[in-house]
């Protein structure tokens, strides 16, 4: 069964971009996760569409990811196909005040292109460690800026296998959500509209935000960024700190001493450690403050 499916896959996509039993800790910023049955890296929207059509026709589960910056994969791995939209679909072009980029482009690279072109408005995203596709789906934001502020339009693949362009005004973007997520669309490409700015002031702003991140976030450890969503009216990190959990650990997973909103891998954590720590943190915060913490990190596989 798996061999037959593999043979069908490599008719769609070159064999070198189809990996079997690929360990997911290589592909997540948490640096944990067991093997996926298949790990494929499409290089075009057509390859992506044909892979999803094949999976559906064969009843094969699949999951679409970027660079794994907001993902916790089970130690048991994933029974199905991981489709990674990353380096193979990461082109970036600049035309006047607009940047067109593939869903696999890193936000940091897009910010670099904006700086080079003297375009302002994307500085907030320079330090977000993710790809454009996930950032659009979840309306990523930082330091007062959000993706909804800069998007002009997004090209997506629909669950029916069609390519369509959605104007920014129809994306229904809110806190960590959008119509893209709600309707199961897959981002392929995005047009970002910025404003002409002064190169030096753009560079200074990016540097200022970089220094803030370095001083306040545990960037020296593997993590998935902010582990929990921000509860309305509160800050997750403050609630966790107030519950006495700064530095609290389970196995190799730890609540960061530098920023309590981050769960980090101290070097030898397994996914089960991270999952258990997240559970204990949620329970303790609920006991202490009565506030429910919801995970921002997406979980994949059986825990």
Q: Give the per-residue SS3 of 132-160.
A: HHHHHHCCCEECCEEHHHCEEEEEEECCC
CA–CA separation, 176 and 128 (whole Å)? 14
Report the alpha-carbon angle 138-262-285, nearest 5. Answer: 95
* CB atoms closer than 10 angstroms to residue 215: 10
Q: What's 234's DSSP letter?
A: S
Q: Does residue 226 carry a catalytic annotation? A: yes
Catalytic residue among 69, 90, 176, 178: 176
Residue spans of alpha helices (H) in the chain:
2-12, 45-58, 107-116, 132-137, 179-182, 199-216, 236-242, 271-289
Contact 74, 31 (CB under 8 A): no
CA–CA separation, 236 and 91 (whole Å)? 35
Please count the residues of the chain: 303
What is the spatial order of strands in the sheet that 78-84 belongs to?
18-23, 35-40, 78-84, 62-65
Contact 130, 140 (CB under 8 A): yes
Q: Does residue 296 carry a catalytic annotation? A: yes
Q: Does residue 176 carry a catalytic annotation? A: yes
Catalytic residue among 113, 296, 298, 299: 296
Run of H or E including 76: none
Catalytic residue among 69, 74, 178, 226: 226
Give catalytic residue positions: 176, 226, 296
């Amino acid at each position: 069964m798996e061999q037959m499916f593999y043979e069908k896959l490599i008719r769609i996509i070159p064999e070198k971009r189809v990996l079997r039993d690929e360990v997911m800790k290589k592909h997540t910023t948490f640096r944990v996760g067991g093997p996926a049955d298949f790990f494929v890296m499409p290089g075009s929207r057509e390859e992506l569409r044909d892979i999803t059509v094949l999976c559906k026709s064969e009843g094969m589960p699949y999951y679409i990811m970027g660079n794994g910056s907001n993902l916790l994969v089970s130690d048991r791995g994933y029974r199905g196909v991981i489709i990674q939209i990353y380096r193979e679909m990461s082109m970036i072009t600049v035309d006047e005040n607009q940047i067109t980029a593939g869903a696999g482009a890193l936000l940091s690279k897009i910010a670099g292109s904006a700086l080079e072109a003297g375009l302002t408005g994307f500085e907030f995203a320079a330090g977000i460690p993710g790809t454009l596709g996930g950032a659009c789906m979840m309306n990523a934001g930082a330091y007062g800026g959000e993706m909804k502020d800069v998007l002009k339009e997004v090209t997506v693949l629909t669950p029916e296998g069609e390519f369509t362009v959605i104007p920014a005004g129809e994306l229904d973007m809110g806190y960590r959500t959008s119509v893209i997520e709600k309707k199961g669309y897959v981002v392929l490409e995005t047009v970002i509209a910025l404003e002409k700015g002064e190169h030096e002031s753009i560079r200074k702003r990016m540097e200022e935000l970089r220094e803030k991140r370095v001083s306040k976030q545990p960037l020296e450890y593997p993590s998935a960024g902010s582990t929990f969503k921000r509860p309305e009216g509160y800050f997750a990190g403050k609630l966790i700190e107030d519950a006495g959990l700064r530095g609290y650990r389970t196995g190799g997973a730890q609540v960061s001493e530098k920023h309590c909103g981050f769960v980090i891998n101290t070097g030898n954590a397994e996914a089960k450690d991270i999952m258990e720590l997240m559970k204990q943190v949620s329970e303790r915060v609920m006991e202490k403050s009565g506030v429910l913490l919801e995970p921002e990190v997406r979980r994949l596989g059986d825990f």
